[in-house]
């Protein structure tokens, strides 16, 4: 249960002269030292009494801290002084004789003087915003309060080395030569203090600590090295030089030890703050990186964000993607040329993705050094790193759910730069890339499925209402572009009677072109029509086409996909898409979509042929009737023959015509009068 803090005016509180207590009172001592205002002291006493009256007794120390009237560190020092003072009184023998007044030297060396110096020194340090300001304030205050000539503060690193962090001298005093780094095993006063965690004092006859080996005498006359301890661990060492002999007294040394311990606590506090800031900074960086991948909607955006992230590293980094049997580095721009060095080094050493996939099967990274000796495959990697101009490099796999799909490669031209922290950061980036690519791929697949459904629906509607095949082909082409992007598109029809393949619609190099008819032969289109089976070639198309027995004329496409147009087992033609520059342009989903569309297109083609044949038949029958009517209206044979030739010539688009009449012998004899 907590109680409400009363204000100074609560319950009519007014400070009165009789409320002050004897000088031995803690509050009075704080007031005398200037650490507490009189009114604040009386309010603390009043607040303590109010708590006690309500059944919540509390010590003055707790009340002072709770009301934020004094710093807890300074209060702890004052309480320690109280304890030491009481212990000194108990050890003093009783005496009935009056003690002489202390002389000036005794006043300068009294425990109270050193306790006051400690309190003043620490009071100057508690508000320091960072470790540098802390050591600066502490050194200046200690020089003044303890009359020192010089001071140096060493901090402990890895429990093996003392590193000089700050040094200062009194005005007009030359700074002594001090080593910036001292091993704990070194024969020096600072190292001895670090090893033993005891106070070193160089004055003759000193009994506070044994003499360390090879500890030279101070030019100032007195040298003290104090361990800074916090929670049982060594934080550092304070090295002091002074001409003030009074600092060698037990009271002064005890005050310095208290000061060193308090400084250790403040240093630890700032170190924890710095560590917290560093952690928060790293978390902020990781959050920004993670957010970038979370916002990426396409594979290209994931690649761009990865390149941006790798550029923040203190070394060079690349993202490589797998393309069949080689690696391709993702470029930041089309004009970038540094990626070629990495691509060529990996591909020249025949480090195929399948090989690296086996090598990285059970590892989250590979660290390769240019001077290391390794196995045959790792030796190829080492040589590739040398080709890139690196002394060391790390290779981190980027995987989808099952396979290796890419690599993050970081390299340094100097050895020792790729530490474990940097490698772990890159491993984390690789995991983010894998997750983002899988998510994007899933979204793209869903979007493409939706677009395929829309395409098939649009084509079905067009087939239902469009009787003009040329317009139908154009609509079909536009719908396919929605899903497959900019690709070449060809419709081929086959006439078994003439054995000719006609191209009623062809779109290549971003324009509609005309291709003359050609006989069924040995090209990919002819093979497609002969077999009546879909065909997809997305890599090494030229070699694979030759394996099928196809003859290639001109530059082959890098990706080729064709499906036959069939109705009732009869092949009416083919529908083809191709990409002249990019391999793996099509996949099984594209094949399924074209196969589904081919059935509808083939049906439309058959219907169009039937309609055309029906119309032609009707037109011919109509012409025959009209010609018959004109012939029947003729009055003699010559008119009949002439009318028949004229009308048939018009209907058949003929320029010449002949009529051959055959007569029986009797009719011929009658016409000629029996003369042969």
Q: What is the pLDDT of residues 420-431, one digit of tens each?
A: 888 888 999 999
State in words which class domain 471-613 has: alpha beta
Residues 613, 619, 621, CA angle at the centre, nearest 5°?
100
How far is CA 475 from its chain centroid? 43
The topology (CATH level 3) of 296-444 is: Beta-Lactamase (3.30.450)
Q: From the CB of residue 360, how many other CB atoms can be counted at a distance below 10 Å?
A: 17
8 A C-beta contact, residue 605 and residue 502: no
Backbone phi, then psi, for 244, in 5-degree steps?
-80, 105
Ranges in the chain annotated CATH 3.30.450.40: 128-275, 296-444, 471-613
**Which residue ranges in the chain fall short of pLDDT 70?**
1-25, 73, 76-77, 80-109, 172-177, 203-220, 245, 333-338, 349-350, 372-377, 464-467, 653, 658, 661-676
Residues 47, 48, 54, CA angle at the centre, nearest 5°?
90
Nearest of 114, 142, 149 to residue 244 by alpha carbon: 149
8 A C-beta contact, residue 599 and residue 571: no
Q: What is the DSSP string of 187-233?
A: SSHHHHHHHH-S-EE-STT--SSPPPTT-PPPTTSEEEEEEEEETTE
At 452 the pLDDT is 80
At 603 the pLDDT is 83
Q: In three state form, how does the secondary structure of 457-506 look?
A: HHHHHHHHHCCCHHHHHHHHHHHHHHHHCCCEEEEEEEECCCCEEEEEEE
Nearest of 521, 520, 519, 525 to residue 537 by alpha carbon: 525
Q: From the CB of residue 352, how many other CB atoms can be counted at a distance below 10 Å?
A: 16
Encode pLDDT of 402-443 as tens digits: 788 889 999 888 887 888 888 888 999 999 999 999 998 888
Give the list of residues 6+ apart from residue 655 with CB closer than 8 angstroms, or none: 649
Q: In three state form, how does the secondary structure of 10-24 look?
A: HHHCCCCHHHCCCCC
At 85 the pLDDT is 62
State in words which class domain 128-275 has: alpha beta
Give the list of residues 6+ apart from residue 622 with CB closer than 8 angstroms, or none: none
Environment class of 472 (CB within 10 Å of its CB; exposed 0-12, middle 13-18, buried 19+) = buried
At 163 the pLDDT is 93
At 240 the pLDDT is 92
Nearest of 292, 427, 322 to residue 364 by alpha carbon: 427
At 33 the pLDDT is 77
CA pair distance 259, 122, nearest whole angstrom: 7
pTM value?
0.51
8 A C-beta contact, residue 3 and residue 54: yes
Nearest of 186, 148, 154, 184 to residue 167 by alpha carbon: 154
**Residue 352 vs residues 344, 363, 393, 402, 404: alpha-carbon distances, Å:** 12, 17, 18, 17, 11
At 666 the pLDDT is 60
Residue 99 DSSP SS3: coil
Nearest of 541, 573, 581 to residue 476 by alpha carbon: 573
Give the list of residues 6+ apart from residue 1 with CB closer than 8 angstroms, or none: 56
């Amino acid at each position: 249960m907590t109680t409400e803090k009363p204000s100074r005016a609560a319950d009519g509180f007014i400070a009165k002269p009789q409320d002050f207590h004897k000088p031995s009172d803690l509050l009075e001592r704080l007031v005398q030292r200037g650490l507490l205002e009189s009114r604040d002291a009386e309010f603390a006493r009043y607040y303590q009494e109010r708590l006690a009256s309500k059944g919540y007794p509390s010590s003055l120390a707790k009340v002072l801290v709770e009301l934020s009237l004094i710093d807890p560190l300074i209060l702890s020092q004052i309480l320690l002084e109280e304890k030491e003072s009481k212990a000194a009184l108990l050890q003093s023998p009783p005496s009935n004789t009056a003690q002489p007044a202390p002389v000036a030297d005794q006043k300068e060396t009294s425990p109270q003087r050193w306790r006051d110096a400690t309190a003043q020194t620490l009071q100057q340090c508690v508000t320091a915003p960072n470790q540098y300001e802390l050591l600066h304030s502490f050194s200046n205050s200690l020089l003044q309060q303890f009359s020192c000539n010089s001071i140096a503060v060493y901090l402990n690193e890895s429990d093996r080395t003392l590193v000089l962090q700050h040094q200062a001298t009194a005005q007009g005093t030359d700074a002594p030569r001090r080593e910036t780094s001292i091993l704990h095993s070194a024969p020096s006063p600072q190292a001895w203090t670090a090893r033993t965690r005891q106070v070193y004092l160089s004055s003759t006859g000193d009994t506070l600590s044994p003499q360390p080996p090879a500890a030279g005498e101070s030019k100032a006359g007195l040298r003290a090295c104090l361990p800074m301890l916090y929670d049982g661990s060594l934080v550092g060492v304070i090295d002091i030089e002074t001409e003030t002999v009074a600092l060698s007294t037990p009271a002064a040394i005890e005050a310095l030890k208290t000061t060193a311990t308090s400084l250790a606590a403040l240093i630890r506090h700032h170190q924890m703050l710095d560590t917290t800031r560093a952690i928060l900074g790293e978390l902020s960086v990781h959050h920004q990186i993670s957010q970038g991948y979370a916002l990426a909607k396409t594979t290209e955006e994931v690649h761009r964000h990865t390149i941006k992230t790798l550029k923040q590293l203190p070394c060079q980094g690349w993202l490589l993607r797998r393309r069949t049997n080689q690696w391709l580095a993702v470029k930041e721009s089309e004009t970038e040329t540094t990626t070629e060095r990495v691509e060529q080094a990996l591909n020249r050493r025949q480090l195929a993705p399948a090989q690296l996939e086996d090598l990285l099967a059970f590892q989250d990274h590979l660290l390769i050094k240019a001077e290391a000796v390794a196995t045959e495959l790792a030796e190829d990697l080492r040589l590739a790193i040398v080709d890139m101009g690196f002394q060391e490099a790390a290779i981190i796999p980027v995987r989808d759910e099952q396979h290796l799909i890419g690599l993050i490669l970081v390299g340094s031209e100097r050895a020792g730069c790729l530490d474990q922290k940097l490698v772990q950061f890159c491993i984390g980036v690789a995991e983010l890339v894998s997750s983002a690519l899988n998510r994007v791929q899933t979204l793209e697949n869903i979007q493409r499925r939706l677009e395929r459904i829309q395409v098939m629906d649009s084509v079905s509607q067009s087939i239902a209402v469009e009787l003009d095949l040329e317009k139908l082909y154009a609509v079909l082409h536009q719908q396919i572009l929605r899903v497959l992007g900019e690709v070449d598109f060809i419709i081929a029809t086959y006439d078994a009677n003439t054995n000719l393949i006609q191209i009623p619609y062809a779109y290549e190099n971003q324009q509609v072109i005309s291709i003359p008819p050609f006989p069924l032969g040995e090209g990919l289109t002819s093979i497609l029509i002969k077999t009546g089976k879909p065909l997809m070639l997305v890599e090494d198309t030229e070699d694979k086409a030759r394996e099928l027995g196809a003859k290639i004329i001109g530059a082959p496409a890098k990706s080729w996909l064709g499906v036959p147009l069939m109705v009732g087992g009869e092949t009416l033609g083919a529908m083809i898409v191709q990409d002249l520059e990019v391999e793996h342009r099509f996949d099984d989903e594209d094949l399924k979509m074209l196969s589904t569309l081919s059935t509808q297109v083939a049906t439309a083609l058959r219907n169009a042929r039937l309609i055309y044949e029906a119309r032609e038949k009707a037109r011919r029958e109509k012409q025959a009737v009209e010609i018959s009517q004109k012939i029947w209206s003729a009055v003699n044979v010559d008119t009949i023959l002439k009318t028949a030739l004229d009308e048939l010539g018009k209907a058949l688009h003929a320029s010449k015509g002949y009529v051959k009449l055959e007569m029986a012998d009797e009719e011929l004899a009658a016409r000629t009068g029996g003369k042969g």
